[in-house]
């Protein structure tokens, strides 16, 4: 059944076009949205309050400060997308997707950030009377822009955007030769036309610009100086990214990254390596190194959960095994073994210990499936913690020093380079945590390469077959037990690699660090959430998910007892509206959105080929 047709602007419309939420003529609505965005830009240069007591000093005319910068950026995005909705030549070319849909999210980003700021000012200073005229103008401007955007006609999208980890052929082989195919039903109207192939150097320049922008956004977010600014940052970035996605810009960049995978990978790690040079001290480099540890372990778990489909609820135990094994042979005075191995030997010991435990635990348990396997792995995680807690010489053998753990772990030294002291590189002072950041970045690169190569290999295809239908895979001759054991052991070894660095970063390894769930990641619950949130089976998904899951709770610590409530609510909303994850592959999107297909409708050929249909 052919499910796509070629567009024809002169063809008669048989269906009545959908109307907006507010009954305003389309021309008027676009004018309101665009004009409101322009007025929002102007209002950011006005004073919003009379006193500098509110963080960010919003009392200055002619120069934005604090949250005003975020409103200025979202207002500029609203104006740009408003002009694009008029099909202005040049501007429309950079928004190949649905400009009206993108305009809604951009206007909502400006509205949400501005009105949150106004409410924060009123709460902090004691009432709306503390607003200057600039604050009122901002409120009116953003409300006007949002009203106009909501009045624009737009059908509810039901689509499957570009999979950034597909090849360019897989992304576009369901289109017509001229790149102007429009899909029906659940695939309609949202997929942008095939981007015109640019000069390779220009495409690489666009990739570099996107990576530099990502580094700038991450650096700004991690360095927010006060709570109100971070919440405004979340509102602006979340809705602003949604606007760029609806505009087709994200999908267009994904096409270029797919054409230049190796350059994108190298560029991404160079951008990450530049992060410590943007910091004046170790305050935020500390968060950076813990994010990398968390992300690396999540990527290892993604092999077990995302590729092989094995629900492991005790995965953090392998991180602990690697950390304990490395700390015992690194010269710690509280270690029961008088051994001080060099780092290369200690990291091999940690990875090997985790791999052995993975085999020992997996061999008797991987014949189970589903919930039964999840319960057994959860039990293993708790058993490891309790054994480490009781191996103190009183309740059991003197191996782990009980609840006191292995302490005073010395700093790493590689080829005379001491990771525990400051170093000067090209005029920049690099502190202790920045040193470990670079080391952990190299280990993350190794894990990414292992994941990528194994996922594309024969064993990787066997993992996917087991995940999709184990019974069918066994019937086709795949040795299910051996394939699952390899995934379990490989994932455990990768967690052990990260554990060796974690032991030296934290100086101390204790059993409390490796629980199923606590308020401080990494733990099994947060690791699993990072994989599901980011997108199972992808490389970039768990990395992004882990970064968000570590950074956001760290910055929301001011909420106190409500921190986990707010965090859990955000996760529930995300799983409700985007259950496939932030960066999913096409197969998982189809699994979650099959119900949106019209009766008798089939997905495009590219989607079918990804699912094996």
Give the pLDDT score at 568: 77
Give the pLDDT score at 518: 66
Give the pLDDT score at 430: 77
Residues near 347 by Cβ (< 8 Å), separated by ≥ 6?
326, 497, 500, 501
Give the pLDDT score at 182: 38
Strand partners, 182: 5
Using 70 as the pLDDT threshold, list the residues of the chain that sit under it. Answer: 1-20, 89-90, 92, 154-196, 426-427, 518-521, 585-613
- The answer to whether the pTM exceeds 0.85 is no
Residue 305 DSSP class: I
Give the pLDDT score at 7: 40
Give the pLDDT score at 172: 43
Give the pLDDT score at 168: 43
Give the pLDDT score at 9: 40
Q: Are 81 and 102 in contact (CB under 8 A)?
A: yes
Domains of the chain: 4-12+20-154+195-259 (no CATH), 279-568 (1.10.3470)
- Residue 565 to residues 328, 444, 532, 568, 571: CA-CA distances in angstroms? 38, 31, 19, 5, 10
Give the pLDDT score at 527: 85
Give the pLDDT score at 533: 83
Q: Are 105 and 85 in contact (CB under 8 A)?
A: no
Give the pLDDT score at 353: 92
Give the pLDDT score at 196: 61
> From the centroid of its chain, how far is CA 178?
34
Give the pLDDT score at 395: 72
Residue 147 DSSP class: H
Separation of alpha carbons 99 and 111, rounded Å: 18
| Cα angle 196-197-201, degrees, rounded to a multiple of 5 | 135
Residues near 18 by Cβ (< 8 Å), separated by ≥ 6?
153, 154, 155, 156
Give the pLDDT score at 258: 80
Q: Are 296 and 487 in contact (CB under 8 A)?
A: no
Separation of alpha carbons 414 and 442, rounded Å: 14
Per residue in 257-288, pLDDT tens?
A: 888 888 888 888 888 888 888 877 777 888 88
Helix (H) or strand (E) holding 418: strand 417-418
């Amino acid at each position: 059944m052919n499910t796509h047709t070629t567009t024809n602007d002169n063809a008669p419309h048989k269906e009545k076009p959908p109307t907006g939420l507010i009954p305003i003529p389309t021309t008027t609505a676009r004018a309101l949205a665009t004009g409101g965005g322009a007025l929002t830009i102007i209002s950011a240069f006005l004073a919003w309050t009379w006193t500098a007591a509110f963080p960010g000093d919003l009392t200055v005319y002619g120069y934005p400060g604090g949250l005003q910068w975020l409103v200025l950026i979202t207002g500029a995005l609203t104006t740009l997308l408003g002009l694009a909705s008029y099909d202005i030549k040049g501007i429309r070319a950079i928004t190949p997707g649905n400009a009206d849909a993108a305009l809604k999210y951009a206007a909502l980003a400006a509205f949400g950030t501005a009105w949150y700021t106004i409410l924060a000012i009123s709460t902090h200073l004691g009432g709306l009377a503390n607003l200057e005229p600039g604050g009122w103008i901002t409120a009116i401007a953003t409300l006007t822009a949002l009203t106009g955007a909501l009045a624009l006609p737009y059908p509810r999208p039901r689509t499957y955007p570009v999979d950034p980890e597909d090849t360019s052929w897989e992304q576009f082989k369901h289109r017509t030769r001229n790149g102007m195919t429009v899909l029906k039903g659940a695939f309609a109207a949202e997929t942008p036309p095939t981007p015109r192939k640019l000069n390779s150097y220009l495409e690489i320049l666009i990739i570099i610009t996107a990576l530099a922008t990502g580094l700038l956004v991450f650096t700004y977010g991690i360095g927010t100086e006060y709570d109100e600014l971070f919440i405004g940052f979340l509102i602006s970035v979340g809705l602003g990214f949604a606007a760029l996605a609806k505009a087709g810009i994200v999908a267009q960049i994904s096409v270029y990254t797919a054409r230049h995978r190796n350059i994108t990978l190298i560029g991404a790690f160079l951008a990450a390596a530049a992060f410590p040079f943007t910091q004046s001290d170790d305050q935020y480099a500390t968060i950076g190194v813990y994010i990398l540890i968390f992300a690396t372990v999540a990527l290892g778990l993604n092999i077990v959960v995302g590729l092989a489909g094995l629900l492991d609820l005790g995965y953090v135990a392998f991180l602990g095994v690697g950390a304990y094994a490395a700390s015992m042979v690194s010269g710690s005075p509280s270690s029961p073994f008088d051994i001080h191995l060099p780092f290369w030997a200690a990291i091999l010991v940690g990875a090997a210990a985790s791999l052995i435990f993975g085999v020992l635990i997996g061999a008797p348990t991987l014949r189970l499936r589903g919930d039964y396997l999840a319960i057994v792995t959860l039990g293993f995680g708790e058993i490891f913690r309790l054994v480490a807690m009781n191996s103190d010489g009183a309740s059991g053998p003197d191996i782990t020093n009980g609840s006191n753990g292995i302490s005073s772990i010395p700093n790493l030294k590689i080829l005379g380079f001491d990771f525990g002291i400051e170093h000067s590189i090209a005029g920049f002072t690099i502190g202790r945590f920045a040193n470990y950041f670079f080391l952990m970045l190299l280990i993350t690169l190794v894990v990414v390469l292992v994941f990528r190569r194994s996922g594309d290999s024969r064993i990787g295809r066997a993992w996917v077959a087991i995940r999709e239908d184990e019974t069918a895979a066994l019937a086709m001759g795949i040795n299910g037990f051996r394939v699952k054991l390899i995934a379990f052991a490989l994932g455990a070894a990768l967690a052990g690699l990260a554990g060796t660095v974690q032991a030296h970063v934290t100086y101390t390894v204790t059993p409390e660090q490796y629980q199923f769930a606590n308020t401080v990641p990494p733990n099994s619950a947060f690791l699993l959430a990072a994989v599901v949130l980011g997108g199972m089976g992808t490389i970039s998904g768990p990395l992004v998910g882990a970064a968000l899951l570590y950074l956001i709770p760290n910055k929301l610590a001011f909420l106190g007892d409500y921190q986990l409530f707010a965090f859990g609510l955000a996760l529930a909303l995300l799983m409700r509206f985007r259950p496939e994850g932030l960066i999913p592959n096409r197969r998982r999107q189809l699994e979650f959105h099959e119900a949106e297909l019209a009766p008798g409708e089939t997905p495009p050929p590219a989607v079918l080929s990804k699912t094996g249909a």
